[in-house]
Amino acid sequence: MSLPARPMASRSLSSRRTARRLAADAGLLVVAVAFLLPLAWVVLSAVDPHAGLRVKAPDGVTLEHFDAILTDEITFTPLLNSFLLCGGATALTVVCAAPAAYPLSRYRSRLNRPFLLTILFATSLPITAIMVPVYALFVRVNLIDTVQGTIFFFAASQLPFAIWLMKNFMDGVPKELEEAAWTDGASSLQSLARIVLPLMGPGVAVVTVFSFVMMWGNFFVPFMLLLSPDLMPASVSINDFFGNRGMVAYGQLAAFSIVYSTPVILLYVLISRRLGAGFALGGAVKG
């Protein structure tokens, strides 16, 4: 007489699982809508001749907002400044992070863990908390309002997390491959450049993309360290679309946002194959 209870219990368990799955899907849908609404506003307002703050279907389709912003002063010069700042700082970050992460990954020491914890703590420091002493220091060493000074600070602020990421990816490269190179007479620097870095291509790609994106969207650092309008990157010049007394050129702001976001999207698309690759190195040491 107690046998029919099992199908009832299984159906009840299945219904609870279905309800939980539906609730999770509904929650994810709400989050997706929350992210999609700003993107929809940007795309629709960029072609709406009467763009406003509301998300709505455009009254018509126009490209006058793009025509208004595609000038040297508004778009091209700030974008060039952004490429110089973020590209130079990203290259400097990757070049410094690789040799800094190598001994942390390959050599065991009692100081490794405290040093890594210090690096992790440095990544949590807010930029706004250190900008006042940094500004005073840059004034004293004559690096204020210079591209190279801003590049150095960008790289220094991004370097702790880049070292942390690089070290974790470097741990996935088998040390046996380096030992074989050392047997053939290669130095540690040569094994890093010719074996470790080529094999951890996805890791280098992740560090590169992450560093570039974080610098590309940074407003506060160049706003504080650069004074000349002709040196301002696009992350700062976008503030020019907010006029006085609450007047905002919404259509031009949306069009500029699309142009401003395009380099980051293209970078991710071009490097996505490297990001999706895995570390299939087990067979290289087991065969």
To the nearest whole number, what is the mean pLDDT of the chain? 82
pLDDT at 234: 93
Kindly report which listed range (40-44, 192-196, 244-248) carries the lowest average pLDDT score: 244-248
pLDDT digits (tens, 9 = 90+) for 236-261: 988 888 765 457 888 899 999 999 99
Neighbours of 231 (CB within 10 A): 19
pLDDT digits (tens, 9 = 90+) for 81-91: 999 999 999 99
Kindly report which listed range (75-79, 134-138, 148-152, 238-242) carries the lowest average pLDDT score: 238-242
Distance from C-alpha of 28 to C-alpha of 263, rounded to nearest angstrom:
28
pTM over 0.85: no
pLDDT at 246: 57
Distance from C-alpha of 261 to C-alpha of 98, rounded to nearest angstrom:
28
